[in-house]
Amino acid sequence: PVVGIGASAGGLEALREFLSPLAPPVNMAFAVIMHLDPHHSSMLAGLLQNHTALPVLTIEDGMRIRSGHVYVAPPNRDVTLIDNTFQLLEPMKTSGLRLPIDFFLQSLAADKAEQAACVILSGTGSDGTTGLRAIKAEGGLALVQDASARYAGMPGSAINTGQADFVLPPARMAEQLRQFFLQSTRLEHAAAKSLGADDGLRKICVLLRARTGHDFSVYKQSTLQRRIERRMNLHHIEDLSLYINFLRQNTTEQDELFSDILIGVTRFFRDAEAFDLLRDDILKNYFAEFPGKRTFRVWVPGCSTGEEVYSIAIILRECLDELKKDVAVQIFGTDLDNRAIDRAREGLFPDAIAADVNAQRLQRFFVKEEAHYRVRRELRESIVFSVQNVIKDPPFSKIDLLCCRNLLIYLNAEAQRLLFPLFHFSLNPQGLLFLGTSESTGVFSDLFRSLSKKWKIYQRGEVASGSRPAVRFPAGQRGMEMAADLAAPDFCLADKPALAALIHAALLENFTPACVIVNDRGDIFYVHGRTGKYLEPSQGKPRMNILDMARHGIRLELRNQLRNVGKSGQKVTCRGVRFNFEDDVRFVDLTLQPLKGAGPAENLIMVLFADVAAPLPPGHPSAEGQLLPNERDQYLLTLDQELQHTRENYQTSIEELETSNEELQSLNEELQSANEELQSTNEELEASREEHQSLNEELLTVNDELQSKVDELVRVQSDLRNLLDSTRIATIFVDNELRIKGFTAEAARIVNLIKTDVGRPLEHIVTTLDCDDLYQEIRQVLATLAGVEKEVRSRRGEWFQMKILPYRTTDNVIDGAVLTFVSITFQKEAQDHLAALNEQLQQAGDYAEKVIDTLREAVIVLDNDLRVLSANRAFYRMSGLQAAETVGKNFTEISDRRWGIPRLMELLQKTLRDGDVFEDFTAGDTMLNGRRIDGRTEAAQQILLAFEVREGAGADGKAGQRP
């Protein structure tokens, strides 16, 4: 197993806590990836080595990974893992936002699968979030630091994914990893055996269906088995039956297993080349023949958190802008997981998406919010996210592009046989099907025509009614309606309008009044019938607003009533509204009716236009009351004058209002331009902020390393200070100008130094030494680099062994000199005393030698090798030898048989062995010899051999004195 550890600002302290409990043997390897300054050599490996018993190594290109080791990524390199071997790559960029943790964790997930784990520690930003998802998708383990993180950006982003297995302090993570991987192999074998032994999978699917309403029996058995084994490993449960009981009693575990099974592997523009091909070669050709009035509909089943949906929306927008076509787009993103759908609706993604989305797209389609990017509203408005089970719930219909990538690989063959006919039904004629690189249409290849074999892009094919595969629609009213439509004889003949549609169009054209669908602000959404009599294009820039386009007379009533209807929600009718058309006075009844169920986004109102005859004047005979003809004419004239006056005032007000509107519009355009400039400036500042944030993280990491190194240096300095003080060796450090750089406490007593003397020239300090050439000797050492050693005496009578050596830095540069003074006063006194003793010993030796010379007995002194050390005069007289022939010679060389050599040598060896005194009297060939051997002088390892003269008979039988 390999554990990838991601950390940034504040991560050094967390790494120490994580590594400290680790001790061999460890069956895991650890790879530490941090945000390091690319221009600064890292000390991280050395700093971590002080806090763990495991070997800590800096990663090198091609290094083979081994368990029980900690590997640290070098600065300015991206690290990847393949076949248990590290590979180092040049980073795509050395400054700004970099995501080395995500990069490594994704390669770790691909290489180690369920034998991978990730640990996210303290740091800013969101690096590591994408990598954590990749680890979880492959069945690995994910651990995140808890609230103890000094910087909560990275841990918080990882926790928000909802995929962290454990949120712990760093000190407890190692034990959790050990427990997980130590028993994983045994648990997997036990779980696999139990899974194969009974219907445990089916029982678990039943429990999940009861809890969530979704049937996972259509999933591939291997996928379910891996997810279940992983949950069993986490809880250290070996037997599947025990896990089933645990699952029944724990609804939280049911939810966690449901989430684990639904883990979606998604990101923006996955397989970017496929998206480029879809945009440039396929969609452009598709839109070339696309009717402009129809909505382009897209369905993305299994969309997870929405990255693929927004990727499709982006390439559609880019394609339409490049073709300069105005086509309405509607995208449906669906998924089983309601939590994933909620995040997709939010449209908020970590800044790690910068690795998949280029800078131009980020600037155009996203808004930066701290450490996240939010999709712009213009893109989100065209997308609808909803919870849907593609197997169980009714599908969407009349789809132009169906993007189902990497969903089918999790489903078994039966589910795939159900889905492909359903996809064929959902697509419009010539509609597009976009699958993942590991998927294909399989046995349904006759339903789809391949447009790209490499990237699995297909187009809906037309088949005869008799050979069309049966579509099994999900249960429900909508599904039954679809099935009924599909069963119609002419269902597949899209070019033949249905009879009901023809009748509907004829009725609308001949029997319904002209109408316009607007909102409460007057913006036009739909126009039915001939409305040119009542509306005309406004002057200047075209504006699709009914208040701008309504003719005089109608405009005033619409302006007043739109607001009332929008607020009250009640139908309003304005009868006999007068307006001018083609130099004639016309009258129309205006009916404003709210549209119920139009959706929460807009309060839509239908405005109906019904032509009516001129209203009867008050003097008409059929009107109430009777007026005389003259009175009636006068009354009508008065009304006409008042109406004309009112119209003129109204027209003046309208012109003033239009002038004011134009000024406001101009001001609004200026403000919009200023806002765009500010937005551009804000984006530049945001990019600069990202670079500064990244630089700040790197500096924080370097600062942590340096702070740790400073602490270590302070500790080492204290150790050295105590070591120097304990040796009681006076030491003085001077620079090349003989200025004092430092000194020990013992030196202060000799040279009269205090703390404030640091930095002062040594020559300015009064010393107690009788050494007039001290400073000259220091300069000589600096000049020749040859050390000086001599004995000096202080004025107090103390003696010191003085050494002057050059001061060498770690770079072998001479940076001053070191003076050491070792007290030798005791040695000097001992030396004087020893000299006196030697003199006394010499005198005693001379005296002893004179005494021995006066002896009548012949005496010779031998060492333990029987070499002659000395002899007295009696010996030389007795032996007839000279001193030159005797001293230093072996005794056997100067003796002869007349001394009884065999017996004498035997006694000598015995003396050396026993250290005793022997006396022996032996008759030689010519005389009687007397010998005394004394071996008690052990200190000098010498033998005293004495010859005594005795009375005896000679060889001739005559008495006499012989030696």
Sheet containing 366-369: give its strands across.
Answer: 348-350, 372-375, 366-369
Alpha-carbon gap, residue 518 to 604, rounded angstroms: 6
How far from 947 is each of 422, 852, 875, 902, 944, CA to CA, in Å? Answer: 133, 13, 8, 16, 10
Helix ranges (H only) for 215-351 are 221-235, 240-249, 251-261, 272-277, 284-288, 307-323, 338-346
Select from 548, 567, 568 the least CA-distant residue to 559: 548
Neighbours of 449 (CB within 10 A): 14
Token pair recorded at residue 648: 């003129």
Neighbours of 438 (CB within 10 A): 10
Is residue 127 annotated as a catalytic residue, yes or no?
yes
How far from 144 is each of 3, 158, 266, 291, 825, CA to CA, in Å? Answer: 13, 7, 21, 52, 66
Alpha-carbon gap, residue 344 to 301, rounded angstroms: 13
Question: Which residues make beta-bridge pairs with 788?
Answer: 804
DSSP characters for 812-864? S-EEEEEEEEEE-HHHHHHHHHHHHHHHHHHHHHHHHHHHHHT-SSEEEEEET
Environment class of 470 (CB within 10 Å of its CB; exposed 0-12, middle 13-18, buried 19+): exposed
CA angle, 948 then 954 then 955, to 5°: 135
Alpha-carbon gap, residue 413 to 408, rounded angstroms: 9
The residue with tokens 């009548």 is 856
Token pair recorded at residue 103: 């990069």
Is residue 8 annotated as a catalytic residue, yes or no?
yes
* Contact (Cβ atoms closer than 8 angstroms) between residue 14 and residue 122: yes
* Contact (Cβ atoms closer than 8 angstroms) between residue 151 and residue 123: yes
Alpha-carbon gap, residue 90 to 845, rounded angstroms: 85
Catalytic one of 35, 214, 372, 424 = 35
Alpha-carbon gap, residue 655 to 850, rounded angstroms: 151
> For residue 4, is it left (φ>0), alpha (ψ between -120 and 50) or beta?
beta
Q: Which residues have CB under 8 Å from 425's CB, separation 6+?
A: 395, 397, 471, 482, 486
Phi, psi angles (nearest 5°) of residue 261? -65, -35
* Contact (Cβ atoms closer than 8 angstroms) between residue 253 and residue 237: no
Omega cis (within 30) before 497: no
Cα radius of gyration (the chain): 53
Q: Which residues have CB under 8 Å from 237's CB, separation 6+?
A: 187, 243, 246
Catalytic one of 37, 102, 127, 337 = 127
Catalytic one of 8, 184, 194, 794 = 8
* Contact (Cβ atoms closer than 8 angstroms) between residue 313 and residue 331: yes
How far from 51 is each of 12, 34, 45, 177, 715, CA to CA, in Å? Answer: 11, 17, 10, 19, 15
* Contact (Cβ atoms closer than 8 angstroms) between residue 577 and residue 552: no
CA angle, 52 then 56 then 60, to 5°: 165
Sign of CA dihedral 500, 505, 507, 508: positive
* Contact (Cβ atoms closer than 8 angstroms) between residue 31 and residue 63: no
Q: Is 289 helix (H, G, I), strand (E, B) or coil?
A: coil
Q: Name the DSSP class of 735.
A: -
Active site residues: 8, 35, 127
